[in-house]
Structure 1
C-alpha cells in the first residue's frame, strides 16, 4: 500500500470534491474562456468567491487531494499529479527544490489544473500534446489565483511596484502576474518585455520581495492523519511503517513529518488544567 492507502485504511480522508470540465471533445477542444470558466467554478465550489486564495494547499486537501512533498534534485520538475482510478482519488507531489511561498502556490494550482482538466488522458496524448497540456494547466493556475474581473479592478499601476503591492494581497509572484496580464491582453508584447527587463535588472529572478518573509506552505493531511492514528489507543508507529512501501526517512519526507518521527514513541498524555468558572467565593485570588 502507498501512503494514502495506508492512511485511508485506518482513517477517513476527505471526500473528493473536484469540478470536472464541461467542454465537449476533451482537452483539445478547451478554449481559453472554457478554462477561465472552469477555474471560476472551482472557486465557486470552494466558496471563496473572488477573494485571494492564500492557503491553496489546505484548500486542495479539504477537497480530497492527497499532497506530498519531496526534493526532486532538478529545476526542470516542479510537481507531478495523477488520479488513482482504483480509489478515485487524485494525488499531487510537489518539489521542495528552490521553492518560495508564491512559487508553491502556483505549482499547486498548476497541478490542480491537470487534475481538473486532464484526467484519463492516454500516454500517447501526454506525449503528443505535452505543450498544449502544460499551457492549459498554466492558464488554469493563473485564472484560479488571479480571477480576471476582481484582479483587474485592483490593477491601478502597471509598474513593478504596483505588481509588488498586488503580490502582497494575492500571493502570486510578480513574474506570474506579468504573464497573466499578457494572457489577458492588458499588456502587449512590448510592455511585457519592458517589465521583464526591469524585473531582471532588480535581481528578482533570484528572489522577489516577500520570498524571504513568507513561510513555505507544507501539506499536512498525511502528517495529521498519521499523528492521529498513532495517538493514544491507536497503532504503533513501527506498525504503521511496516505497512508502508518506504523506508522511514522517505516516508517522513513525503508526508512532511519531522526527521526521526517513526523512531519516536507516541507522545505522553498531558493533564489539562480546568479553567472553567468556579462557584462564587471559590475563584482564584
Structure 2
C-alpha cells in the first residue's frame, strides 16, 4: 500500500515555494483539481504523481508524510509590510514555521541563550508615544549592557546572545526585507536573501526588534489599514531602530557638521545609512524640514538612494547561533550532520541557509542522551 501523505504538509510546501495550485499543476502535469484534492485530503497521490510533486517542490519525501506540528504563534510583522504581497508574506510565514521546527529539534541537545528583553508594551498602537519608544530603547540598552552613547558593534550577535533567534532565508523578494514573530516563548527574525547592504540589514534587524517589543497589543496586521501600517506601526518600528542604532547623546556629540560629505565619515562609525542618519538628525531638531529635503535632493542627484558610499566595504553581520549549535552537536558526536538533516525532514536549500553549511552525505550516528549548554 502507498503511504498516505499529510495534506497540510503538501499545502505548506507549495506555499513556501511561492506556487499557486495552478502553477504546481502546470509544472507537474497534474490537474489543478487533483492538486486541490490532494491538499484537501480527498485523494492520496500515486507514486508517479507524488514523485513529480517532490521533484518540483524539492522537498524530501519524509516531509510529506510527517505529522503536522502545532504551536502558538503571535502576530507576524513584515519589513516594508505595506509593499509586500500576500504571496511573499505567506512564503515567509511558512518558512518561520520551519525555523521553529529546527529550534525545537536543536533544543533537545543544547540550551539556547536565555531570552532577555524589556517587558513588551501592551498599548494600542495609537497610544504609543515617542517617549514610550525612547524609554524601551534605554531599557534594552541597559539590559544588554550597551553604552547609552556608543554604536552597537554587532547587533545580530548581541541579539542572538540575548535569546532572539535570527536566521537567513533562501527567499528573495525586493518588497520584503525581514519578518519577525513571537512563536511560543521566543521571538524569531528571518532575513530575506536580497543581498542588502550591511547598514540596511542592521536597520532591518533593529526595526524587527522594535516590533517584538512595541507591538504586543497587535493581534493581526490585517486589523489595520495600509495607512495605519505605514504611518503608525512601521513609523514606530523605524523610530525604535533609529533610537537604538543612533542614541541621542552619542549621535549629537558626533555630528560636527550636517554637510553630506560628513555623513560618510559618520557612517563608518555608526554603521547606519546616510539617509537614516539624516532622518535622525531631523528627529533631534538639529535640521529643519527644508534642510532635510535639500540633503535628500543631493542624495538623489548623486544616485545614492539605493547604493550609498561604503555599502560595499562595511562588513555584513551574519546570524551564527544555529551554525554554532549544529557544529556543537556534531563535534560532540551526538548526531552526525546527515542524521540532523534527515531528522528535520526539511528542504536541503533551506537547511543549508539556516545552518550556513554545505550539506554532504554522512552516515547516521547513534544518538546519546547527553545534554550540552551553549556557551555565549
1:197 has 2:294 as partner: no
Mean alpha-carbon deviation: is it higher for 182-191 or for 117-126? 117-126
> Which residue matches 1:270?
none
CA distance in 1, matches of 2:106, 2:124: 33
Preserved CA contact (<8 Å) 2:167 2:354:
yes
| Alignment equivalent of 1:134, drawn from 234, 240, 249 | 234
> Which residue matches 2:79?
none
Mean alpha-carbon deviation: is it higher for 179-188 or for 216-225? 179-188
> Which residue matches 2:136?
38
| Alignment equivalent of 2:201, drawn from 98, 104, 113 | 104
2:111 aligned counterpart, secondary structure: coil
> Which residue matches 2:152?
53
Structure 1: runs of 5 or more not aligned: 267-285
CA distance in 2, matches of 1:227, 1:209: 36
> Which residue matches 2:329?
229
CA distance in 2, matches of 1:90, 1:136: 18
CA distance in 2, matches of 1:3, 1:120: 27
Preserved CA contact (<8 Å) 1:71 1:97:
no
Give runs of aligned pairs for residues 85-96 of structure 1, distance below 5 A: 85=184, 88-96=185-193
Residues 262 and 202 of structure 1: is their aligned pair in 2 closer, same or farther, counting only changes over 3 Å?
A: same
Deviation at 1:124, TM superposition (A): 5.5
> Which residue matches 2:113?
14
Normalised by the length of structure 2, the TM-score is 0.66
CA distance in 1, matches of 2:205, 2:223: 19
> Which residue matches 2:320?
220
Deviation at 1:98, TM superposition (A): 3.2
Give runs of aligned pairs for residues 235-250 of structure 1, distance below 5 A: 235-250=335-350
Mean alpha-carbon deviation: is it higher for 11-20 or for 27-36? 27-36
Deviation at 1:135, TM superposition (A): 1.0
CA distance in 1, matches of 2:283, 2:177: 22
Preserved CA contact (<8 Å) 1:69 1:254:
yes
CA distance in 2, matches of 1:89, 1:167: 32
Give runs of aligned pairs for residues 111-260 of structure 1, distance below 5 A: 111-119=208-216, 121-123=218-220, 127-128=224-225, 129-131=228-230, 132-255=232-355, 257-258=356-357, 260=358
Structure 2: runs of 5 or more not aligned: 1-99, 365-376
Hey, which bits of structure 1, 4+ residues long, moved more than 4 A? none
1:263 aligned counterpart, secondary structure: coil
Deviation at 1:204, TM superposition (A): 1.5
Deviation at 1:171, TM superposition (A): 0.6
Task: Give the alignment's Cα RMSD to 1 decimal.
Answer: 1.9
- How far does the alpha carbon of each residue in 1:157-192 deviate from its partner, in whole angstroms, 9 at most, with x for none? 001111111111111110111111222222211111
Normalised by the length of structure 1, the TM-score is 0.85
Aligned length: 261
> Which residue matches 1:2?
101
| Alignment equivalent of 1:82, drawn from 162, 177, 181 | 181
Preserved CA contact (<8 Å) 1:6 1:244:
yes
Preserved CA contact (<8 Å) 1:27 1:118:
yes
